[in-house]
C-alpha cells in the first residue's frame, strides 16, 4: 500500500486515514476535499472523490448507507469503469463485514415488513416508474418492456431478447384467439399489445403508474387495438368479479406486493381466473430461504432510492402461496442468467445516451440507475438474486386441468440448446 505526499509540508494523513490505509489493500484512490490523494493499494483502478470531510468518517466506519446518500447527492464522486467500481465496492463491503461480525449477522436477518396499503403502494410504484417515459425509452427496447429478456444464444440484442420473452410467455400460456387475458402490472403495455397482435387475445392491463397508463393507452390506440385492449389505472385489490379471465399474467409486479400480502395477491388472481385457466407469474426472488439479503451491501440503497417498499420472497414462498390458493403449479423456470444479460445491455444503452438521460431525468437519477442496474447484474451473476417464471393452472371442481403432456409447445424448434456463459463486462 502506498499513500501520496500531503499537499503541504508537515501534514500527515491523520490517525483515521492511517488506520484505513493499514486495514485495506484495494486498487482504490481517495481524492480528498483539500486536494490530498491517497492510494489504498497499488495501481488504483477506481477513485473516490470526497467533497466533504464528513465522508471520511463514513468510509472509515464502513457506513455504506450514508455513502450511498452522498453518492446520489454528488458529494461522493466515483470514477472508473463500472466493473472495477463494483469489484472495489464489493471488496470494501466484505472487508468491513469481516471486521464487524454484527453487521454480517444483521445482513442475514429478514428485513422488517412494511404495511402495503393501496396509497403506499401507489406512492412507491410512482417513485420508480414515473421518473420519465422519455428516460426509459432511451435504454429499454422498442416495446419498452421493463423486465428481463429471453435469450436463446446470449448474443441477441435487447429488442430480439424482449420479443423472444414475450413470445415465450404467450406460448407458456397457450394463448388462443378471443381469449380474455389480464396483465397485472402491465407497464407500458408491450406484452398486451404483442399478445393481441400475434395471438388475437382481448386484454385488460392494470398499472399504478400514471405515466405508464398514459403511454400504454396511447400505444394501444396507435396500434389500432383500442377495441381489444383496455388499460386501467388500478390496484389489483380493486379488481372486481370472479372467473372473468381465461389467462392471467404478471411480469415484474409482485415484488411490489409485499410478502405478507402474497396470499391476498394470489387469492385475487385465483378468483379472477376461470376454471381450466392458466396463470404465469414472472418475478425476482432472493436466494436466501429466510428472505434476507444475500449481497454484502446495496439493499438499503435500493430501498431508499430505487424501489421503496419492494420485498423479495424466496421461490419456496412463492410456490407455497400459489399452492395455498388451490392453484396447481405446472412449470417453474429460473431465468437468472437472462436478467444479468438484460441488465448489462440496459446499462450500456444508458451510458451511450448519458447526456439525453440526464436531460430527461436529472443527474441524480442517472447516477442512481447506472449503479443500480450494474449492481443488480452482479447480484444475478453471483446468485444473490434469481428470477422465476411460475406457470400454474386452476383446476375445475373435480380437480381436472387439461395441459400438454410435454413442454415442447414452449419452443419453436427442437434444436440443441445453446449453453449460458460468463457475463462479458467489456466496455463498462
For 124, the grid coordinates are 412507491
In 187-315, the DSSP E strands lie at: 202-207, 229-233, 245-251, 273-286
Residue 376 catalytic? yes
Helices (H), 173-293: 190-199, 210-222, 262-272
Q: Cα dihedral sign for 319, 321, 322, 328?
A: positive
C-alpha 141/C-alpha 253 separation (Å) is 19
- Residue 261 has a CB neighbour count (10 Å cut-off) of 23
C-alpha 138/C-alpha 4 separation (Å) is 41
Helices (H), 144-252: 158-172, 190-199, 210-222
- Residue 395 has a CB neighbour count (10 Å cut-off) of 14
Task: Give the strand order in the sheet containing 37-39.
Answer: 37-39, 28-31, 46-50, 76-79
**What 3-state DSSP class applies to 245?**
strand
Phi-psi region of 154 (alpha: psi -120 to 50; beta: other; left: phi over 0): left
Alpha carbons within 13 angstroms on the beta-carbon side of residue 290 total: 11
Helices (H), 353-418: 354-361, 363-381
Task: Give the strand order in the sheet containing 273-286.
Answer: 229-233, 202-207, 180-184, 245-251, 273-286, 385-393, 328-334
- Residue 360 has a CB neighbour count (10 Å cut-off) of 18
At what angle are helices 158-172 and 336-352 packed, to 10 degrees?
150
Of 386, 244, 245, 242, the closest CA to residue 318 belongs to 386
- Residue 408 has a CB neighbour count (10 Å cut-off) of 9
Alpha carbons within 13 angstroms on the beta-carbon side of residue 106 total: 10
Q: What is the CA radius of gyration of the chain?
A: 24
Give me the active site residues, please.
376
Amino acid at each position: 500500500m502506498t499513500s501520496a505526499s500531503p499537499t503541504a509540508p508537515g501534514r500527515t494523513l491523520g490517525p483515521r486515514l492511517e488506520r484505513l490505509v493499514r486495514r485495506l489493500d484495494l486498487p482504490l484512490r481517495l481524492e480528498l476535499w483539500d486536494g490530498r490523494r491517497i492510494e489504498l493499494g497499488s495501481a488504483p483502478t477506481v477513485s473516490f472523490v470526497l467533497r466533504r470531510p464528513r465522508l471520511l468518517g463514513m468510509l472509515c466506519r464502513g457506513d455504506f448507507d450514508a455513502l450511498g446518500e452522498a453518492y446520489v447527492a454528488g458529494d461522493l464522486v466515483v470514477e472508473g469503469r463500472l466493473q472495477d467500481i463494483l469489484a472495489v465496492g464489493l471488496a470494501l463491503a466484505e472487508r468491513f463485514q469481516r471486521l464487524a461480525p454484527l453487521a454480517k449477522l444483521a445482513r442475514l436477518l429478514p428485513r422488517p415488513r412494511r404495511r402495503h396499503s393501496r396509497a403506499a403502494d401507489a406512492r412507491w410504484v410512482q417513485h420508480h416508474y414515473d421518473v420519465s417515459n422519455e428516460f426509459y425509452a432511451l435504454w429499454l427496447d422498442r416495446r419498452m418492456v421493463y423486465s428481463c429478456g429471453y435469450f436463446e444464444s446470449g448474443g441477441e440484442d435487447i429488442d430480439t431478447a424482449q420479443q423472444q420473452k414475450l413470445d415465450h410467455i404467450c406460448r407458456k400460456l397457450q394463448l388462443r384467439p378471443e381469449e380474455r387475458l389480464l396483465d397485472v402490472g402491465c407497464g407500458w403495455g408491450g406484452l398486451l399489445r404483442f399478445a393481441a397482435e400475434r395471438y388475437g387475445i382481448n386484454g385488460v392491463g392494470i398499472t399504478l403508474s400514471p405515466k405508464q397508463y398514459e403511454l400504454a393507452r396511447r400505444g394501444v390506440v396507435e396500434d389500432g387495438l383500442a377495441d381489444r385492449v383496455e388499460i386501467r389505472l388500478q390496484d389489483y385489490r380493486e379488481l372486481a368479479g370472479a372467473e372473468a379471465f381465461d389467462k392471467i399474467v404478471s411480469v415484474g409486479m409482485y415484488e411490489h406486493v409485499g410478502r405478507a400480502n402474497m396470499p391476498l395477491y394470489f387469492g385475487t388472481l385465483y378468483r379472477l381466473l376461470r376454471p381450466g385457466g392458466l396463470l404465469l407469474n414472472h418475478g425476482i426472488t432472493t436466494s436466501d430461504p429466510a428472505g434476507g439479503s444475500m449481497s454484502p451491501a446495496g439493499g438499503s440503497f435500493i430501498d431508499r432510492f430505487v424501489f421503496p417498499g419492494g420485498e423479495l420472497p424466496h421461490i419456496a414462498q412463492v410456490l407455497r402461496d400459489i399452492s395455498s390458493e388451490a392453484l396447481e403449479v405446472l412449470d417453474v423456470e429460473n431465468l437468472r442468467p437472462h436478467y444479468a444479460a438484460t441488465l448489462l445491455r440496459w446499462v450500456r444503452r444508458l451510458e451511450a445516451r448519458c447526456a439525453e438521460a440526464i436531460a430527461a431525468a436529472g443527474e441524480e437519477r442517472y447516477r442512481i440507475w447506472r449503479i443500480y442496474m450494474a449492481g443488480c447484474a452482479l447480484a444475478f451473476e453471483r446468485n444473490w438474486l434469481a428470477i422465476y417464471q411460475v406457470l400454474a393452472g386452476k383446476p375445475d371442481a373435480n380437480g381436472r386441468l387439461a395441459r400438454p403432456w410435454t413442454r415442447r409447445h414452449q419452443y419453436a424448434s427442437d434444436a440443441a440448446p445453446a449453453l449460458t456463459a460468463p457475463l462479458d463486462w467489456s466496455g463498462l
